[in-house]
Chains A and B, each alone.
Chain A
Amino acid sequence: MTPISHGADWDFGLLERYDGAIAEVAAEYRLDTYPNQIEIITSEQMLDAYASSGLPVGYPHWSYGKEFIRNEQAYRRGMQGLAYEIVINSNPCIAYLMEENTIATQALVIAHACYGHNSFFKGNHLFRQWTAADAILDYLVFARGYVMQCEERHGAAAVEEVLDACHALMPHGVDRYRRPAAPTLKAEAARLAEREAHRERQFNDLWRTLPECPAEGRTAGKARFPAEPQENILYFVEKYSPKLEPWQRELVRIVRKLAQYFYPQAQTKVMNEGWATFWHYTIVNRLHEKGLVDDGFMLEFLKSHTNVIAQPAYDSNAYGGLNPYALGFALFRDLRRICEAPDAEDRAWFPQLAGSDWRVALDFAMRNFKDESFIAQYLSPRLIREFHLFAVADHDGEDALKVDSIHDEHGYRRVRKLLAGQHAQEIRVPDVQVVHYDRDGDRSLTLRHQRRRGRPLTDAAAEVVLHLRRLWGFAVRLETWEDESRVGDVVECAA
């Protein structure tokens, strides 16, 4: 076949032809996606999009302005390039492409975002569970309108105060487990009827003859509220804060919903980027195989691709943490290799995968894991060697860091476990929960930070408590516990 185009320039007709070719290849690999909506924007618009975490609509807040200024500065000075694209988890899936890109880059981006990320958004269990792709754009429009309406009615300063406080608690405003849906009236009636029937079946007149237990024994110690610690602090505030006005409650809810929307993204960074990178690589190579793109296109593509998946060593100046693109891409490629051409080591480590259909194996991995479990499940010894991964222990009592384990026979499992743990949400966000709301007393709220392995909170905790105090309206205390005993100072903010 003849290549679709030569040269670097693109136009809309060409984009459509490339999209058609890519869609064909994606269908060959059975990628399931939302419909695509591609929007062409300028670099300045890209900076705008950056500031609002890529969302096309956002409510006004100074922190977005700060983010915008920071990005603009970095971009102007050449410290930071712009992403080629931004993609939004919505239905239809919206991808922003920059006009400065060449046609090779545009094709890469279409494969990466519109087929890679898009299928991940549609398939991964976290996204399926936590985000409503059909409704998010409408909700954003509502949120923006609501915030601006509140500003008009109550003043920008009052709104800003609530939003500031909510933003401070945003990482603690997500549900990690789905709340059971409230039962319908019918289900509730059925449950009550069943309960009644059960009681009738179990009726025994003998129970009536038992002596009453002493009255104070039952009521002694008022029931603690909440009965169980609550980890979703914003939810608790929204539902129980004694002082919030209804509009303030709604603002808390808006921030909470946004936090929940971003929750899956934070947990699947490696997987999501790895999946998209794997697919742009696979799809474009397939296009080249079919003769739809020329060698010049491929060279430019490979240059961008290798830039994306570069992983500098820990002691290099360019090191900025583990590159999720690199790690994710390597994981998915390795997974395919294990399926297609396993060696003895792979057979020992992944007996169920070796020799199976790689498309099924990849699809399964994409749907059912998050970063933590994905690494724990699929990081092979070969990858650990390739990345030269090693674990360093930083313990309080010792005056030097210790190399805990490296990429050798004894270290594989340990390194894999630690790397997986490093990507766990529980490790990255401190465990702070609401343990007590003194409903009958001074209405104070008590939070508990469950400290693990002696890792303290930063000093910013005091400011966060102050923010929470503003939302709550009464005294807020933050205690730190480790292993069932209280440690450290209590951060307290009086009413």
Chain B
Amino acid sequence: MLHLIDRRPNGRGKSAVNRERFLRRYKAQIQDAVKKMVGERRLGDMEQGGEVRVPKKDISEPSFGFGRGGDREFVLPGNREYVAGDRIPRPESAGGAGGSGSEGGEGGSDDAFTFSLSREEFMQIFFDDLELPNLARTEIGHSEQRRSIRAGYTKSGVPANLSVIRTLRQALARRIALAGGLARETDALDAAFAMAVAAGHAGQAAELHAELERLRRRRGRLPFLDEPDLRYRNRVWKPEPIARAVMFCLMDVSASMDEDKKDLAKRFYTLLYLFLTRKYGAVDLVFIRHTDDAEEVDEETFFHDTRSGGTVVCSALELADRIRMERYASGWNVYAAQASDGDAFGADPARSARFLREQLLPATRYYTYLELAAPDSQERSSSLWAEYERVAEASGNFAMRHATRRDEIYPVFRELFRKENQ
């Protein structure tokens, strides 16, 4: 007797819950691993999933087992040259001839337990606990999109929205409520009538009969469907957050920005981009590089083309604002990230700060400024930094940080976008 069952449609993922438990249990280790991974990665690969290595000893499941030492014998197959009494030098590791099947000691098992995270899992861990600032608070007010959603039932409405089931349920309830009392009265009268007839009181019986008739007529007059029974499906308009964002990347490519600093900036932009793509359905990117004048370029040029010259920060800010008004005037969440070494001269820092405060900041959700310095530089504050610091004091959607080394980028990023309630 054979049962053949096709289980293929049942789907996989039976182990998904166990996998998720595993990830949760080793969250700390995995987070560390992800952090390290980000440091080693090329930018183009940043949003891929990745291989995580967790030290094996951390996730071992202990049980009583035999260690090395003591006397034992084991049987092996495939002898070619040995005869009884031969001596074999002890192998260095437990591998080779040392192990007899599964009980081969635990030498050489220090390597890490490696497994890959999917892209989603990677991003989940990567951006765990991070929140886009000012998002929840401001978006509703600025929102221009609305969506109709269901919101229960109302007593008035257009016939097209009539909910038949609700209405009939209401009618049934009303009929039961109104007819119940009448039924009881009728029953009582019925009994009295029967008694009167049995006792032979003709007059009383006729009276009761008339009363009964009256009640029956009243019951018959209860309408099947009445005006108060009607129920209509209700819909309301709900404001929707804008699902689009634009990110302005401003970078100083003047001579003082060397390869290392540019690399730091790239990393920061990449993080921001990944983060935004996670929050918004569509993210537009605008790359603006500047020396003494600003220009909009494509991504390739932005990151890989070299150009040198002086530094006029304000030019980039002005260009960004112009592009914003031209293309992203309404219906967009605007973010901007500026990276520079802060080497600005003369009136430029003050002008930039003013322009930022008055023009750009009110129109953006969040503006971050990352000042990049060489690892060995002593003096941390530039003239631009000093000016921007005053801007930061005055406004809530502006943040600025220093970064000098590659592994600082991620912590800086986390610090900038930390959930505000923490």
Residue ranges of A at the interface with B (Cβ–Cβ < 8 Å): 12, 15-16, 19-20, 23, 35-42, 44-45, 47-48, 51-52, 60-66, 68-70, 72-73, 92, 96, 99, 156, 160, 164, 167-172, 311-316, 319-322, 387-396, 399-408, 410-411, 415, 418-419, 422, 428-430, 432, 449, 451-461, 463-464, 467
Interface hub of B15, B82, B96, B101 (most chain A Cβ within 10 A): B15
Quote the shortest CB–CB distance from B89 to chain A (angstroms). 5
A-contacting residues, B36-68, CB 8 Å: 59-68
Output the least CB separation between B392 and chain A (Å).
Answer: 42
Assuming the contacts A390-B79, A392-B97, A401-B97, asked whether A62 and B18 have C-beta atoms less than 8 A apart, the reply is yes
Interface of A is mostly: mixed
A458 touches B67 (CB 8 A): yes
State the Cβ distance, A310 to closest chain B Cβ, in Å: 11
Bound: A360/B59 CA distance, A: 49
> A321-B102, A460-B64 in contact; A387/B8 too (CB < 8 A)?
no
Nearest Cβ in chain A — how far from B293, in angstroms? 51
Assess the B83–A460 pair: CB atoms within 8 A.
no
Beta-carbon contact of A406 and B82 below 8 Å? yes
- B70–A168 contact, CB under 8 A? no
Question: Cβ of B4: which chain A residues have Cβ within 8 Å of it?
Answer: 12, 15-16, 38-40
Contact A390–B71 (Cβ < 8 Å):
no
If A64-B15, A65-B20, A313-B77 are given as contacts, then 16 extra A-B residue pairs at C-beta distance below 8 Å, sorted by A number, are A19-B2, A35-B3, A37-B2, A38-B5, A45-B12, A65-B15, A167-B63, A312-B78, A322-B76, A390-B75, A401-B89, A406-B82, A415-B75, A455-B69, A464-B62, A464-B64
Evaluate whether A64 and B64 lie within 8 angstroms (CB atoms) in the complex, with A428-B103, A453-B72 already known.
Answer: no
Q: State the CA gap A305–B86 with chains docked (Å).
A: 36
* Least distance between A476 CB and chain B CB atoms (Å): 13
Contact A37 B5, beta carbon cutoff 8 Å: yes
Contact B12 A391 (CB under 8 A): no
Chain A residues with Cβ below 8 Å from B78 are: 311-316, 319, 387-388
Least Cβ–Cβ distance between B373 and chain A, in angstroms: 41
Most chain A CB neighbours (cut-off 10 Å) among B2, B20, B102: B2
Contacts across chains A and B counted by CB atoms under 8 Å: 261
With contact pairs A40-B7, A62-B25, A322-B101 given, residues A16 and B64 touching in the complex (Cβ less than 8 Å)? no
CB-defined contacts of B13 to chain A, threshold 8 Å:
48
Complex CA–CA separation, A12 to B60 (angstroms)? 43
Q: Are B62 and A66 in contact (CB under 8 A)?
A: no
Residue in A closest to B13 when the chains form the complex, CB atoms:
A48
Given contacts A42-B12, A405-B84, A69 and B63 within 8 Å (CB-CB) = no
Q: What are the 10 A-B residue pairs with the smallest beta carbon separation, nearest first? A: A313-B78, A455-B70, A321-B101, A65-B22, A65-B18, A454-B70, A460-B62, A44-B12, A314-B76, A463-B62
From 80 to 98 in chain B, residues with beta carbon under 8 angstroms from any chain A beta carbon are 80, 82-90, 96-98
Q: Which residues of A contact B82 (CB under 8 A)?
A: 390, 403, 406
**Does A388 lie within 8 Å of B63, measured CB to CB?**
no
**Contact residue among B10, B22, B68, B104 (Cβ-Cβ distance under 8 Å from A62):** B22
Name the residue of chain B whose CB is nearest to the CB of A171. B63
Taking a contact as CB atoms closer than 8 A, the residue among A65, A70, A404 that contacts B21 in the complex is A65
Q: Given A48-B12, A432-B64, A92 and B70 touching (CB < 8 A)? A: no
Min CB distance A53 to B, Å, is 12
Q: How large is the interface on B (under 10, 10 to 19, 20 to 34, 35 or more residues)?
A: 35 or more
Nearest CB of B to A386, in Å: 9
Which of B113-121, B230-238, B303-311 is the interface stretch? Answer: B113-121
- Write the chain B residue with the least CB distance to A466: B62
Q: CB distance B70 to A12 under 8 Å?
A: no
Pick the residue among B19, B87, B116 that contacts A402 (CB under 8 A): B87
Most buried by B among A19, A39, A415: A39
Chain B minimum-CB-distance residue to A60: B17
Q: How far is the CA of A60 from the CA of B25 in the complex (A)?
A: 13
Q: Does B296 contact A (CB under 8 A)?
A: no
CB nearest neighbor in B for A453: B71
How many Å from the CB of B117 to the closest CB on chain A? 10
Whether, in the assembled complex, B73 has its beta carbon less than 8 Å from a beta carbon of chain A, the answer is: yes
B96 touches A69 (CB 8 A): no
Q: Inside 8 A of B71's CB, which chain A residues have their CB?
A: 393-396, 453-455
Q: Is B387 an interface residue when CB atoms closer than 8 A count as contact?
A: no
Q: Is the CB of B63 within 8 A of A168?
A: yes
Tell whether, in the assembled complex, residue A36 and residue B22 are in contact, meaning their CB atoms are under 8 Å apart: no
- Whether A39 contacts B79 by the Cβ 8 Å rule is no
Q: Given A39-B5, A389-B79, A422-B74, A404 and B84 touching (CB < 8 A)?
A: yes
Q: Cβ of B14: which chain A residues have Cβ within 8 Å of it?
A: 45, 48, 52
The reply to whether the CB of B348 lies closer than 8 angstroms to some CB of chain A is no
Find out whether the CB atom of B62 lies under 8 angstroms from the CB atom of A168.
Answer: yes
Are B5 and A65 within 8 A (Cβ)?
A: no
CB distance from B238 to the nearest CB of A (A): 33
Interchain Cβ contacts under 8 Å between A and B, 12 examples: A19-B2, A62-B18, A65-B18, A167-B63, A315-B78, A387-B77, A393-B72, A395-B72, A401-B97, A402-B87, A406-B82, A457-B64
- For A463, give the chain B residue with the smallest CB separation: B62
Considering only CB atoms, which chain B residue lies closest to A19 in the complex?
B2
Contact yes or no, A460 B7, CB < 8 A: no
Our pick among B2, B24, B73 for the contact of A393 (Cβ within 8 Å) is B73
Q: Which residue of chain A has the shortest Cβ distance to B25 in the bound complex?
A: A62
Once A390-B82, A458-B106 are accepted as A-B contacts, the answer to whether A12 and B64 lie under 8 Å apart by CB is no
Q: Which A residues lie within 8 Å of B104 (CB)?
A: 321
How many angstroms from the CA of A428 to the CA of B74 in the assembled complex?
12
Do the beta carbons of A68 and B18 come within 8 Å of each other? yes
